[in-house]
Amino acid sequence: MDTPSIESITNPSPRHMAPANRDSSASRTAPARIALVGVHGFGTHHLRNLERLSAQGVVELVAVADPHPPAPGALPETTAVHANLDALLAGDHRPDVIIVATPIQTHAPLALSVLASKADLYLEKPPVASMADFLRLQEAAEAAGRSVQIGFQSLGSLALPALEKLAGGAATGELPGIGRLKGISATGRWVRDRAYYQRSRWAGKRSLDGVDVVDGVATNPLAHAIATALRIAGARKAEDLAFVDTDLYRANDIEADDTSVIRMRTVNGLPITCALTLCATEPVEPYVTLHGTEGTAVFHYTEDKVTVRVEAGEITHVFGRDDLTENLLQHLSGGTPLLSPLDHSGAFMRVLEAIRTAAAPALIPAKYVDWVGAGDQAHAVIPNIEDILERATLAHASFSELGLPWARPATAGAEALFSPEDAEANAPTTVIRSGDGLETELAPRPYLHPVSTRDGIVVTDHLAADHVWHLGAGFAVQDVNGSNFWGGRSYRRTAGKYMDLTDHGRIEIAEITHDQDCTVLDLRWLASDGSLVLQERRTYRRALIDQHTWRLDIQTRLTAVVDATLGSPGSHGAAGSGYGGFFWRLPVNASPRVFSSTAEGEPSVHGSVSPWLAWTGEFDGGPATLVFGSPSESPDPWFVRCQGYPAVGSALAWDTAVELAADTTLTRSNTVWISDGTLGMQEIERLVAGR
């Protein structure tokens, strides 16, 4: 019910009751008698649909209620028109079903009155504006013995049974399987202008005159995205969800959210993340994605279209859709199950309640919002929101966890690397993140992000859409005794390809000690089965070189708890993919140049051995240079990516695994010089010489 226009409805009271309905279980021979409350906004959709069903002899529209009557000729001559539900119920219309398509805050009182009248109910989404009202509505429906259909039209899609099969790991007649389901995401990118929020008093409100409204992006215009994702996940009742987490923002001058991430997890452990905005560059039909171990299934629910992408290729199938009004009538006459029954909205209401009770959405500062158009037709655009939403859904991360400049600062698991930071000395920003909240398949581990130059240019990235398991600056290994401490898929020689396995380990901080220019981490490497395989002492040291340059020294000392084999895709047979060890993910930058003292460009530098490697580029904020010094303990080859994504690593096991006997220690010391501006060869050589 995105755009209803009813501004006020007289408070209904159950004293006006129509005569009891006919036995709904009997086979229906006469047209069903329908009443519609709310004929504007989404009510116009119901009018068109009822006109279609009337022409088929299925229904008769006996009455409507709206304080603003429809235009002359818009209704059949036999349809009675009332100003409100009270007046409609006082008439002798004997409706079998009453459809309520009114503002959100009126749903609860109107629905309760409909049930008291002994009519069955079609109630537009969201069902009501609070969990308390939802529970009251459930009790009233059960006491009255009436059926309630909730207007989540997407739940009538014939694609849903096929998607539920895919979610269960099976193929369908139309679509190939996608393997084991790892998670579900929903993405909505719509555009709403100022006029949208001026269409009624309740638009964009969290409450109105002390009554809950909760008219945000996730509860009204893009509520179907959440409801559809929950249905595919098998989450129908509130207790089907283990938790709900919200991260709510607004770019518009409203109370409610227009850009949000909603994260859920089912009691079975399945993550569901919905990233939604009404501040997109241009509108795109919303979609729900099933992420499987062997592929993905993307469901554009407004079009009933499913696209499955697997290794063998891509296939698209367009399904039909059952009309929810017809489904309700079939249910009443023949016992056909409801497609969107009230009881199956419990999980959605758990989400709505989390949004209702959350802190008010944070206002996105004006400098991070572009306005397109003029006057009432102007609409807010959050730059790069499309990439931001994709990153959020792929990593199951909130905007805060992505570290966006307009998002609330992440308070858990993130702190300054060096203490105290001296702002007057132009000290660079360096944040260490524990990684504790990351999804298992990202191989949770501590890492640095953001790392900045002395002038504040950020030179790390994390949770990028292309590789969400690339985490700033850190140290990780793709294979330790069969456990993946890198994140993402694992390369296996026997298969000759990357495979999606449940083999991810995690690196936890046991202790952290800060000093002004030195921080020491004691770390525990826990295998996928939870056993301890490595212990690590990681030391970070900072030196301020001059007003434009500083140096970061990173030393890793790995001690094997058991005999350990440290490998990489390269050591497993993937030529040129020997990544693992020290790794630095850069943000996208223009005009990148990567070079060493002996080589120039990615093809020449990748896999080479040299004392240092330099990267220059135009970053967001200006030009910067990073110079990476090779570890003093070993001539490890450089791993470099420039064209596909920007990253530099020092490969611990380029093409041969490292064997580390129990109680023995391996040490690697890397240095990074971080400078504002573009440094040339001579300047770089002077920096390295002063190491």
Q: Among 1-10, 39-48, 184-193, 245-254, name the one with the lowest average pLDDT.
A: 1-10
User: Is it the case that residue 24 has pLDDT exceeding 90?
Assistant: no
Task: Place domain 159-321+345-386 in its CATH homologous superfamily.
Answer: Dihydrodipicolinate Reductase; domain 2 (3.30.360.10)
524 CB-near residues (< 8 Å, 6+ apart) = 507, 508, 510, 532, 534, 535, 536
Q: Say which amino acid occupies 307.
A: T
Percent of all residues in the chain with a pLDDT value above 70, rounded to a whole number:
95
At 35 the pLDDT is 98
At 73 the pLDDT is 87
What whole-number distance in Å separates Cα of residue 32 and Cα of residue 29? Answer: 9
Residues 313-323: pLDDT tens digits?
A: 999 999 999 99
Q: Would strands 414-416 and 430-433 be described as parallel, antiparallel, or unpaired?
A: antiparallel
At 410 the pLDDT is 84
Residues 457-482: pLDDT tens digits?
A: 999 999 999 999 999 999 999 999 99
Residues 544-553: pLDDT tens digits?
A: 999 999 999 9
At 175 the pLDDT is 95
At 686 the pLDDT is 94
What the block records as the tokens of 316 is 């698209």
At 9 the pLDDT is 36
**Model pTM score:** 0.92
At 27 the pLDDT is 52
DSSP states of 127-141 as a string? S-SSHHHHHHHHHHH
At 28 the pLDDT is 57
User: Is it the case that residue 23 has pLDDT exceeding 70?
Assistant: no
User: Is it the case that residue 18 has pLDDT exceeding 90?
Assistant: no
At 567 the pLDDT is 98
Average pLDDT over residues 339-364: 98
Q: Among 115-124, 308-317, 425-434, 435-444, name the one with the lowest average pLDDT.
A: 425-434
User: Is it the case that residue 1 has pLDDT exceeding 60?
Assistant: no
Residues 266-316: pLDDT tens digits?
A: 999 999 999 999 999 999 999 999 999 999 999 999 999 999 999 999 999
Residues 496-521: pLDDT tens digits?
A: 999 999 999 999 999 999 988 999 99
At 427 the pLDDT is 78
At 21 the pLDDT is 39
Average pLDDT over residues 251-272: 98
For CATH 3.30.360.10, list the domain ranges present in the chain: 159-321+345-386
User: Is it the case that residue 584 has pLDDT exceeding 70?
Assistant: yes
Q: Which own/partner pairs from 231-235 qualify as long-range (CB within 8 Å, at least 24 positions apart)?
A: 231/155, 231/160, 231/344, 232/160, 232/163, 232/164, 232/167, 232/184, 232/288, 232/290, 232/299, 233/167, 233/184, 233/266, 233/270, 233/272, 234/164, 234/167, 234/266, 234/268, 235/264, 235/266, 235/272, 235/347
Average pLDDT over residues 327-353: 97
- Among the listed residues 120, 112, 116, 185, the one whose alpha carbon sits nearest the alpha carbon of residue 149: 120
At 425 the pLDDT is 62
What the block records as the tokens of 259 is 């850009």
What the block records as the tokens of 551 is 């140096």
User: Is it the case that residue 7 has pLDDT exceeding 60?
Assistant: no
Q: Which residue has the higher pLDDT, 118 or 63?
A: 63
Look over the chain and give the mean of its residue pLDDT values, rounded to a whole number. Answer: 94
User: Is it the case that residue 17 has pLDDT exceeding 50?
Assistant: no
